A and B are shown apart, each in its own frame.
Chain A
Amino acid sequence: MDVKLTVNEEAYETRAAGSVTTLLDEMGLAGQAVVVVLNGEVLPAAARDEQALREGDRVDLFRIVGGG
């Protein structure tokens, strides 16, 4: 069953209800250096496998870019 999320402020439906790690895999971000903010709280990387995503969750993903 699809789970409706908000990812980076846009509607997003995951194909499989799973963990944060599953979502990152699905988005093509496996193995990349991203920080996950779940419902406004930073999610430690070690907790991604365990953290299940629920309907309505808000996920924000950030990465390093060039900057001065």
Chain B
Amino acid sequence: MDRRETAKDDWDVGGRRFSSRLLLGTGKFSDRGTMVEAVRASGSEVVTVALRRVGREPREDDLADALRGLPGITLMPNTSGARDAAEAIRAARLGRELTGSPFVKVEIHPDPHHLLPDPLETYEACRALAAEGFVVMPYMPADPVLARRLEDVGCASLMPLGSAIGSGRGLATAEMLRLIVRDARVPVIVDAGLRSPSEAAAALEMGCDAVLVNSAVAGALNPVGMAAAFARAVEAGRAAFRAGLIPRGRGEAAATSPLTAFLGEEPR
């Protein structure tokens, strides 16, 4: 689809309209206050949360209070911790019960070493959850064939990884992302692996609709400052995409100033 069409540059997913193209994860922040300030600085309208069993200390880790300070934010519970489709479906139902949000980030990564998504279990979970009426947002390998299959079962967006979760390796999957973006009929959100705002800008420049970051912000020396930097980079990348980049050259120069008749001499 042509992502340059709309005059006002909002985007839609799951029947909701958003203006910010930066989604933020809430994990790994040193404290809840910093997390809330980072969400504000990011301008994000969609934030991810996780679910866990209540521990022995009832007050530990409770994020619900902090999130009440962020009115108007769409919560997207993830299914992290799920090792297969059945566990992810169960986690999604719990997340909906707890947050009241129909959005779910389907995240099934059975191997803690690389945290790469299981394509078969992800597909099965997405198919079932879309049929149950969830707004399904799959964290997925950057695979154009799987992307099409996930669209066909009713996913509201595609969230291919740039590189492994938390790795800070940026857009290692750039060539595959281009293919996904070219053919996608739903929003494409690069999820995972980004380290720097310039990588987020590059994702938007290539036509991705949004990016989701967490570690890059939460782990920064100044998370609130980094959240603001990502917000500006995403805006710049999107503006560049809409403005239309020049074709990539083959290495020869193409002069920007006239090369003829300077002081009566022709160039050699």
Contact = CB atoms under 8 A, between A and B. Distances in A.
Given A63-B54, A63-B61, A42 B25 contact: no
Of residues A8, A27, A34, A63, which shows the largest number of chain B Cβ atoms within 10 Å of its Cβ? Answer: A63
Contacts of A9: 53
Contact of A63 (B25, B48, B98): B98
Contacts of B19: none
A65 B60 CA distance: 9
Contacts of A65: 27, 49-52, 61-63
Nearest to A7: B54
Interface residues of A, number: 22
A7 to B, nearest CB: 9
B50 A42 contact: no
A29 to B, nearest CB: 5
A44 B93 CA distance: 11
Interface in A9-45: 9, 27-29, 32-35, 37, 42, 44-45
Contacts of B59: 28
B5 interface: no
Contacts of A52: none
Contacts of A45: 97
Contacts of B25: 66-68
A63 B62 contact: yes
A66 B62 contact: no
A64 B78 contact: no
Nearest to B59: A28
Contact of A64 (B29, B50, B166): B50
Identify the 6 closest CB pairs spanning chains A and B, nearest first: A67-B50, A68-B25, A68-B214, A33-B64, A66-B26, A61-B54
Interface of B: 25-29, 35, 48-54, 58-59, 61-64, 67, 75, 77-78, 80, 93-94, 97-99, 165-166, 192, 212, 214-215
Given A62-B98, A63-B62, A68-B192, 4 more contacts: A33-B64, A34-B98, A35-B98, A65-B50
8 contacts: A8-B53, A32-B64, A35-B51, A37-B94, A61-B54, A63-B64, A65-B51, A68-B50
